């Protein structure tokens, strides 16, 4: 592989040259694994050892995500990309928006009406031995997902609580060498692929006003994280109008 390969490069956001990331990789011994197992080990770490939660911003560095110990689609994706590149696995970002209904239940009802209609979303595309695979199933940690599955035992589809899936009881979230998904049914806009998160966020930012941005960073996200912790412990709040087990946003669709 070329030393100048853009899909293996470090960037200000993908700062896998940071000592904390280098130490993690050395401690785990990931570089000694096969390519398939390197991807799987890194994927499982980000999925389950970095809990689902909300950071201060989408465009924080991989080292900051690791230090936080939690993240959402965009920030966990940043860490996943950094770790993959650090173990010599080529990857890129695919950018989207999702409908805000996917976050309902995590977003408090008091502020849900003022939330943006569409939320910046991304997944990671990784080059495997047989081609490219879409990785999205790392977003919800297994404990959080299990709490949703236990709450909605008769449901196949769910668009809410951070999940957007048509197969809630058996979503494709485990690494087996192919695509993984957990929010794909909430996707609305497709922005295409980007070499790195830096390029994506230079072109697409969440549409918060100045005041809403301050409220999100300092109050709302902490409120959301408290709700995430309660859901993980089994206390799943009711979403108004979520009467049908297979309720989902009517306009949700799989990205082409």
| Residue-level pLDDT at 100 | 95
| Residue-level pLDDT at 2 | 57
| Residue-level pLDDT at 244 | 44
Distance CA 143, CA 145 (A): 6
Q: How many CB atoms lie within 10 A of CB 175?
A: 21
Question: Taking Cα atoms as reference points, which of 107, 122, 62, 102 lies closest to residue 225?
Answer: 107
Residues whose CB is less than 8 angstroms from the CB of residue 241 and which lie 6 or more positions away in sequence, other chains included: 247
| Residue-level pLDDT at 237 | 95
Weakly modelled stretches of the chain, pLDDT under 50: 244-256
Tens of pLDDT, residue by residue over 17-33, are 999 999 999 999 999 99
Instruction: Tell me the C-alpha to C-alpha distance, in Å, between residue 176 and each of 127, 135, 140, 255.
Output: 14, 11, 17, 21
Domains of the chain by start residue, with CATH: 6-232 (3.10.620.30)
């Amino acid at each position: 592989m070329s030393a100048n390969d853009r899909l293996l490069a470090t960037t200000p956001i993908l700062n896998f040259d940071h000592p904390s990331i280098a130490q993690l990789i050395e401690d785990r011994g990931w570089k000694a694994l096969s390519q398939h197992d390197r991807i799987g080990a890194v994927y499982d770490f980000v999925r389950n050892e970095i809990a689902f939660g909300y950071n201060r911003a989408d465009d924080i560095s991989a080292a900051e995500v690791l230090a936080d110990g939690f993240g959402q689609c965009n920030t966990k994706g940043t860490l996943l990309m950094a770790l993959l590149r650090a173990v010599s696995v080529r990857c890129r970002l695919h950018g989207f928006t999702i409908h805000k209904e996917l976050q309902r239940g995590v977003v408090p009802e008091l502020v849900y009406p003022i939330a943006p209609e569409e939320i910046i979303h991304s997944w990671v595309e990784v080059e495997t031995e047989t081609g490219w695979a879409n990785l999205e199933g790392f977003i919800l940690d297994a404990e959080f997902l299990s709490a949703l599955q236990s709450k909605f035992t008769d449901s196949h589809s769910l668009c809410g609580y951070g999940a957007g899936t048509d197969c809630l009881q058996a979503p494709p979230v485990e690494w087996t060498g192919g695509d993984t998904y957990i929010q794909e049914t909430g996707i609305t806009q497709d922005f295409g692929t980007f070499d790195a998160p830096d390029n994506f966020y230079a072109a697409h930012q969440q549409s918060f006003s100045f005041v809403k941005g301050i409220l999100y960073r300092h109050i709302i996200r902490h409120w959301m994280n408290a709700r995430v912790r309660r859901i993980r412990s089994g206390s799943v709040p009711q979403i108004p109008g979520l009467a049908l087990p297979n309720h989902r946003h009517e306009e949700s669709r799989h990205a082409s």
